[in-house]
Amino acid sequence: MSTDAVISRELKSLQEAVALSQQQRAAAAAPTDNAAAGAEPVQTAEDEEWHADLRALADEVTGFFEEAEKNISQHPTSSVVGALLVGILIGRLLGRH
């Protein structure tokens, strides 16, 4: 459950960073019109689509982790054994370098 909160915060932070970057880019493109009027830059259809995609990604990631948490809770022994085997496999693959 705490993992979901951390991931949600990270995704929101990413969305805010993208929004800020887009605002800065729009302000740099038309510095006289928006800066003089004191208005925020207008979002284009592309910006709205980007935000919608980020929201969809955040929802998918949150759903994935909720489903994984349910599966791990239902099958704790299988999850631990599977994680151990994956860890051993990754360790052997990285050890061959």
Q: pLDDT of 60-69, one tens digit each?
A: 999 999 999 9
Percentage of the chain surpassing pLDDT 90? 38
Amino acid at 23: Q
Residues contacting residue 4 through CB under 8 Å, at least 6 positions apart = 62, 65, 66, 69
| Nearest alpha-carbon partner for 40 in 26, 61, 55 | 26
pLDDT surpasses 80 at 86 = yes
**Parent domain of 67:** 2-95
Percentage of the chain surpassing pLDDT 70? 84
Contact 11, 61 (CB under 8 A): yes
Write down the pLDDT at residue 35.
47
Number of domains in the chain: 1
User: For residue 5, what are the CA distances in angstroms to 8, 40, 58, 74?
Assistant: 5, 30, 11, 21
At residue 22 the predicted structure's pLDDT band, cuts being 50, 70 and 90, is confident
